[in-house]
Amino acid sequence: MITAADIEAAAERIAPHVRRTPSWVLPSAALQIDGPPFELWLKLEQLQVSGSFKARGMFNRLLANPIPAAGVIAASGGNAGIAAATAARALGVPAEIFVPTVISPAKRERLEGLGARVVVTGAVYAEALAACEQRQRETGALMTHAYDQPEVLAGAGTLAREIEHQLGVPDALLVSVGGGGLVGGIASWFGGRTQVVALEPQGAPTLHRALAAGEPVDVEVSGLAADALGARRIGALAWEVAQRHPITSLLLDDSAIRDAQRLLWQSFKLAVEPAAALPLAALRSGAWRPREAQRICLIVCGANVDPATLA
């Protein structure tokens, strides 16, 4: 179980290495959301070191453990690998990152620029993870899981802690879900003090299917956000959190995600990847709306995307 004390400890540990990202407070009309007005908080985590929230968990994982001579190893659709490579470079240790063929060119280029050894294998994240685990058994490198380790969830939870310190506790918080590290960390920090709305693409419904089945199940992965939200099954730690804290789960189609992604670029020049646009997509599509005038926080979780694709 991840506690507030774990998250406080993670925040202190990673503070010299990560950014305190800004939060914008805007009226809902600023993002062309229909219906009665409400207050929007945009947590701009795409400005984080490594371009996503993943840096919080990866720095916490590396700093909380001895790192062997073989360095660190990770499997990722892109963002967790970039974060692991960023942390490894900052700490002066080698990194080996396994990625699936679905990885975007922008993310692969960034990984290679960080000096990591990049291994492209498997059609989806789960296949890259299996190859990574086999390689870790051979080398003894420190395994840094993209979302299913206590240090990774506690690191992600520092994002929720930071929101509360900046603005307070929102009435609802909308967050994208892949393997569940971010939603698990956020729910662990707030502990039921806010409504947590978990958003997934229709092509990668790991948490949604688990909640329907009453247990984690494998899903097929496809669609616009498959590189970032490409886990085949919700993480065990995130599932444990979901059993203790109520989480609302919704699915969104690719057209709504792309619409939100383009609006953020056209209106604010925020170049964010599809996974980061799900919270806004839920509001603009009407998939989720506040019941009354409230303070709604949207996690803009990553920016590892080529802006040319948003034109």
| pLDDT tens per residue, range 264-279 | 999 999 999 888 999 9
* Mean pLDDT value of segment 252-271: 93
φ/ψ bin of 115: left (φ > 0), alpha (ψ from -120 to 50), beta (otherwise): left
Give the residue among 261, 210, 185, 206 at the shortest CA–CA distance from 14.
185
Instruction: Give residue-wise pLDDT tens across range 126-151.
Output: 899 999 999 999 999 999 999 999 99
**Pair 131, 273 in one domain:** no
Q: What is the pLDDT of residue 224?
A: 65
Lowest mean pLDDT among 65-74, 101-110, 182-191, 219-228: 219-228
pLDDT at position 226 is: 62
Residue range of the domain that includes 107: 54-143
> For residues 51 and 302, is the Cβ–Cβ distance under 8 A?
yes
Which CATH number fits the domain that encloses residue 198? 3.40.50.1100
Domain count across the chain: 2
Q: Based on the domain organization, do 187 and 295 belong to the same domain?
A: yes
Q: Is residue 211 domain-shared with residue 73, that is, in the same domain?
A: no
**Stretch among 92-106, 170-184, 202-216, 296-310 having the lowest mean pLDDT:** 296-310
- Do residues 260 and 122 share a domain? no
Q: What is the DSSP string of 20-82?
A: ---EEEEEGGGGT--SS--EEEEEEGGGSGGGBTHHHHHHHHHHTS---TT-EEEE-SSHHHH
Rounded to whole angstroms, the Cα distance separating 228 from 236 reads 18
63 vs 51: CA distance, rounded Å: 19
Q: Indicate whether 59 and 18 sit together in one domain.
A: no
Q: What is the pLDDT of residue 310?
A: 72
pTM of the entire predicted model: 0.94
Domain boundary among 128, 143, 158: 143
Judged against a pLDDT cut of 80, whether residue 62 lies above it is answered with: yes
- State percent of the chain over pLDDT 90: 80
> What confidence tens digit (pLDDT) does each residue in 151-168 have?
999 999 999 999 999 999
Residues paired with residue 42 on neighbouring β-strands, in sequence order: 24, 298
User: Per residue in 188-225, pLDDT tens?
Assistant: 999 999 999 999 999 889 999 999 999 999 888 776 66
Same domain, 80 and 112: yes
Shared domain check, 100 and 31: no
Kindly state whether residues 190 and 239 are assigned to the same domain. yes
Q: Where are the alpha helices (DSSP H) in the chain?
A: 4-14, 54-63, 79-91, 105-113, 125-139, 150-167, 181-190, 206-213, 236-244, 254-268, 274-285
Same domain, 92 and 228: no
Shared-domain flag, residues 88 and 135:
yes
> CB of 310 within 8 A of CB of 286?
no
Residue matched to tokens 């062309």: 32
Where does a domain end: 143, 158, 189?
A: 143
Same domain, 262 and 252: yes
* 139 and 265 together in one domain: no
pLDDT value of position 299: 97
Final residue belonging to a domain, choices 143, 165, 180: 143
